[in-house]
Amino acid sequence: MDTKNYTQVLIDGKIYTLGGTEDEAYLQKAASYVNEKNMQLRGIPGFSKQSADYQQVMIQLNIADDYFKALDHSEQMEEERNRMEKESYSLKHELVSTQMKLEAVLKDLEERQVQLEETASHLAKLERENRNLTRQNERLSQERAEAVTEAEQMKELVDDLLFLAKSDAARQPAARAETAMSEVALGCLLPFESVAFEAGVALKHRITPGLSLRGDEGQLRRLVMILLDNAVKYAGPGGTVTFTLERHQERLRLAVHNTGEPIPPEHLPHLFERFYRADAARNRSGGGYGLGLAIARSIVEGHHGRLTVTSTAAAGTTFTALLPRR
């Protein structure tokens, strides 16, 4: 399209627009020419704005003015359309670029989601494996603890059997010395206070101070522990265990009494036999082998003493050891 130029001319107080493909200087000369002719018409004698020539000129000027204004408006619209097309293209380009960026971000998010799902699946697998390992470790720890307990019980059984075997063969060393029996008894009672409390058993004692005898302190301590352990086990919840140590003529009387179910009479003659169990089920649950009372009797007899037991429903059960002081 040819580029058009425009100029304006003032005629009779009205501004008219002239335009064309000519340059602006030429259009200004044309406007001056129109003004000049207008002035010439006005100089003719008898000039009137109502004359046909003047009206014809004004009609043509109005037509030209309307045409060029419309043309100018059309060109402005064309420019506006071109501008809007450019802006639309720019916006479209930006939208496409933004869309591509969003698609890239979405793709990255999808990949990250897949990675997170894979990671979560892997962590869940590790957690299951960890739980399995924990259960295995717990089972192994339990089996190891049971094995250790069983080994300790077996060692205790072997030691007990060796002790009894040496006693039978009279090879048990007589490590006799003056032993503060009152202090030994008190020392044995102390750890049993918590055991009795947990079992719901009241633990009492009557110990005469300053009592002593010549003997093996380790064996005498074991004697007290065996009798106390037996009494606490069989006193039962709400029961009472009473430990007594007193002087009886030239001997010491050590007695352990417990309330609870009495021992049936038919079992009393066999209580000090090896591996004998008056209550087999209870001994198995407690891990015993039925050697404790046999060892207690062996210790007492090794000190030239005597161990007896009485048991009735009314009086309860009492183990009594009479030990020479010398």
Mean pLDDT across the stretch 201-222? Answer: 94
Residue 22 has pLDDT above 60, yes or no: no
Question: What mean pLDDT do residues 85-108 have?
Answer: 89
pLDDT at 130: 93
pTM of the model: 0.54
CA distance 210 to 185: 11
Q: What is the mean pLDDT of residues 10-30?
A: 59
pLDDT of residue 281: 39
User: Whole-angstrom Cα distance, residue 22 to residue 266?
Assistant: 147
**Rounded to an integer, what distance in angstroms lies between the CA atom of residue 308 and that of residue 321?**
7
Contacts of 21 (CB under 8 A, 6+ apart): 2, 3, 4, 5
- Where do the H-state alpha helices sit in the chain? 24-43, 52-168, 181-199, 217-235, 280-286, 292-302
Pairing of strands 177-180, 306-312: unpaired
Strand pairing class (240-248; 202-207):
parallel
DSSP per position, 140-176: HHHHHHHHHHHHHHHHHHHHHHHHHHHHHTT-S----
| Overall average pLDDT of the 4-20 stretch | 60
pLDDT at residue 285 greater than cutoff 50: no
Report whether pLDDT(223) > 90: yes
- pLDDT at res. 179: 94
- 3-state class of 225 per DSSP? helix
Q: Which of 12-26, 220-234, 257-271, 303-317 has the lowest mean pLDDT?
A: 12-26
Mean pLDDT computed over 218-246: 94
Model confidence band, residue 169 (pLDDT cutoffs 50, 70, 90): low
Conformational region of residue 7, where left means phi above 0, alpha means psi within -120 to 50, and beta covers everything else: beta
pLDDT level of residue 111 (50, 70, 90 thresholds): very high
For 5, the 3-state DSSP assignment is strand
Judge whether residue 23 has pLDDT over 70: no
Question: In the prediction, which pLDDT does 60 show?
Answer: 66
Determine the pLDDT at residue 259: 95
Q: Please give the average per-residue pLDDT across 259-276, as a whole number.
A: 89
